[in-house]
A and B are shown apart, each in its own frame.
Chain A
């Protein structure tokens, strides 16, 4: 399970960052402690997405921009349609997808295995 600072940009992560900023400016905590909280957040959100979330989704759309840099894919998709299994499709004008590689933690697994299930 790879851990990234990527998720700090999510609404949950931004809300945490804002909160920490406030606590720092009120001198309740120092920035070093705030950093620790953020890195704990990286761990917690990774674990949550990995083991607490089971939903499967499909995204379709017109790929407007793609970019691959430093192992990060970025897509800008126009008129995306999301299907979260069983639910109504969600649409938007445009969406940006930022994806880090999932491979980091899996280096000791044979690539051909196709990910043997974790029960």
Chain B
């Protein structure tokens, strides 16, 4: 097999990324079909995803050759056109699978929820999720460790008060501090986190390390920090 990572037989990072992309694509085939979305769209998803990763120059990885054939004319295949977005008058109706658990039976009639409402709901959820992700990024602000000054936690306050009524320069510092961190990120799981006096020892696993625009993966890691 691949000997590029002689360490312990694990796959090198680009191969792992490629594996994830292929795995996701492969396992989404069924769902795309259920949604009436052509497999060409799935192939485009894969291609765009790979493109983006390559452009990030996290690591080079081999471009599969069968890509040439994967190009398509979007107008020709765009099955989404058939979706009853505009009131469902089309005879070709793709059922939108419900998995929110509500159960339509409880409604007076299943017609009570129009496709528009369902669509709106889905769009809302998607946007919610997007804003949550953004909010998580904003959480940088929360790294407050002095215990006081809760008033300034509010985003709006911060922005409004930047001119400095409250003038807590703690906030500003903190923001600066954390601003730099977004580039360098370790996403992982912890098994143990121990502290003896100012020495911290962490047992971490399944991590993605992103440092200086490069990604590294680990199965297990130890963290030795002093505070």
Q: Which of B50-72 contact A (CB under 8 A)?
A: 52-53, 56, 58
Chain B, interface residues (CB within 8 Å), range: 35 or more
Q: Which of B151-194 contact A (CB under 8 A)?
A: 177-178, 180-182, 184-191, 193
Contact flags B77-121 to A (C-beta < 8 A → 1, else 0): 010100100000000000011000000000000000000000100
- The reply on B197 being an interface residue by CB < 8 A is no
Report if A60-B225 is in contact (Cβ < 8 Å); known contacts: A55-B10, A82-B211: yes
A12 touches B20 (CB 8 A): yes
Which DSSP category, helix, strand, loop or mixed, fits chain A's interface?
Answer: mixed
Measured CA separation A28–B200 after assembly (Å):
48
Q: Which of A63-86 contact B (CB under 8 A)?
A: 63-68, 73-77, 80, 82, 84-86
**B99 CB, nearest partner CB in chain A, Å:** 8
A-B contact count (CB 8 A): 271
**B37 CB, nearest partner CB in chain A, Å:** 6
A53 touches B189 (CB 8 A): no
**B43 CB, nearest partner CB in chain A, Å:** 11
**B29 CB, nearest partner CB in chain A, Å:** 11
Q: List 6 A-B contacts (CB under 8 A).
A: A22-B48, A32-B97, A37-B28, A54-B5, A54-B219, A57-B222
